[in-house]
A and B are shown apart, each in its own frame.
Chain A
Amino acid sequence: MLAVREAEASGAEPIQLGLLVERLNLVVGMIGRAEQLVGRGEAEEAAVQLRQSVEVSREVVGKAAVLREEGARSTYYGRLLSFGMVPVASLLVTIISHFSWRWLRRREVERIMRSEIREGKGAREEQR
């Protein structure tokens, strides 16, 4: 149970976790059946059930450990990628904003120049 929880906390895939939880429920069912058998005095049958439950538990612990490592690795690389993308995205935004600024500035200068030229032409025509 604790091994599966650790795997979950490390960010293991929910589908894989679901399979482990199914196996855990199998173990819970076996323990319940063993208790019933003990209550009926069938100790040998109960022991068989318990042995099987221990085997399944071991299998679950082994798989949970693998899942935990995989989950931890994928979480680590996911975070690394996410934070690694931050400067890349910032650089893109900076480049876009830089060229946008330059384009806007040039357009503004051209607009002012055009109006200056128009005013100059108008003044010369008035002088004539």
Chain B
Amino acid sequence: MRISEDLARAATVFICVTVVLSTLTYVALTPRPREEFFQIYVLGETRMAERYYPGNNPNIPAGQAVKWHVGLTNFMGSIQYVAIRAKLGNSTIKAPSDVDHTPSPAPMLMDFRRVLMNNETWEFPFVWMIKEVRGNGDVVRIAVLDLNGVEIRNGEVSALKGRNFRIIFELWTLDPESGNEVFGWRAGAERRVAWLQVWFNATSPRPT
């Protein structure tokens, strides 16, 4: 009678502890669902959120180099292929849409691509300079732009008196289903986008 009582108690303890430890092991080994997102940012020449323009003057003359730092951090929980597309826009060109998840129709200046590990931050310099400005009455067009040492000819984007140009940064990723680059990313059933823009005015070259 004594043995069976002890045995019953021990069996109860064993079963209870096994259930608890199995649950704990399962919870510890199962990856927790977490929010999947990217963080994109543009910093000024001092690598801080300031001094985006030389002398803090947004009127950029031709021949004046502007230095920014563009960064992206991957919090998607997995390795990701990303592309940051830099576009030149004005105040009338449509901005990317957070609602429809459509990119801006502005002409692309350059795209920067990379494969990022989870939690990895990628930062690169973005040095640009207006090389040639053409005017037609009040309408000013940035004809040639130098971006990271590459000369880019642009024939489409112009602005009244050279005001309110903008450089748009869009985040594109590789869609694993289609195998194509898509604007934004898929987080579960949701679709998300990330983009930034910095405004500036283009002015005539400084007199030498």
Contact (Cβ within 8 A) B9 A98 = yes
Contact (Cβ within 8 A) A8 B78 = yes
A90-B21, A91-B14 given; A17·B29 CB < 8 A: no
A105 to B6, CA, bound (A): 12
B interface, how many residues as a size bin? 20 to 34
A13 to B130, CA, bound (A): 46
A18 to B118, CA, bound (A): 10
B191 at the interface (CB under 8 A from A): no
Q: Which residues of A contact B9 (CB under 8 A)?
A: 98, 101
A interface, how many residues as a size bin? 20 to 34
A4-B79, A21-B79, A89-B21 given; A79·B13 CB < 8 A: no
B133 at the interface (CB under 8 A from A): no
CB distance from A97 to the nearest CB of B (A): 5
Q: Which residues of B contact A79 (CB under 8 A)?
A: 29
Partner of B13, one of A21, A36, A94: A94
A2 at the interface (CB under 8 A from B): yes
CB distance from A90 to the nearest CB of B (A): 4
Contact (Cβ within 8 A) A17 B18 = no
Contact (Cβ within 8 A) A1 B174 = yes
A4 to B118, CA, bound (A): 12
A58 at the interface (CB under 8 A from B): no
A82-B29, A86-B25, A94-B17 given; A14·B117 CB < 8 A: yes
Q: Which residues of A contact B118 (CB under 8 A)?
A: 8
Question: Which B1-57 residues have a C-beta within 8 angstroms of A?
Answer: 6, 9-10, 13-14, 17-18, 21-22, 25, 28-29
Q: Which residues of B contact A93 (CB under 8 A)?
A: 13-14, 17
The total number of A-B Cβ pairs within 8 Å is: 68
B81 at the interface (CB under 8 A from A): yes
Q: Which residues of B contact A94 (CB under 8 A)?
A: 10, 13-14, 17
B115 at the interface (CB under 8 A from A): yes
Q: Which residues of B contact A83 (CB under 8 A)?
A: 22, 25
Contact (Cβ within 8 A) B21 A86 = yes
Q: Which residues in A have some Cβ–Cβ distance to B below 8 Å?
A: 1-2, 4-5, 8-9, 14, 17-18, 21, 24-25, 28, 31-32, 36, 78-79, 82-83, 85-87, 89-91, 93-94, 97-98, 101-102
**Interface pairs (27), CB distance under 8 Å:** A1-B115, A1-B174, A4-B115, A5-B79, A5-B176, A8-B78, A8-B79, A14-B117, A21-B116, A28-B113, A28-B114, A32-B113, A78-B29, A79-B29, A82-B28, A83-B25, A85-B25, A86-B18, A86-B21, A89-B17, A90-B17, A93-B13, A94-B14, A97-B13, A98-B6, A98-B13, A101-B9
Q: Which residues in B have some Cβ–Cβ distance to A below 8 Å?
A: 6, 9-10, 13-14, 17-18, 21-22, 25, 28-29, 78-79, 81, 113-118, 150, 174, 176
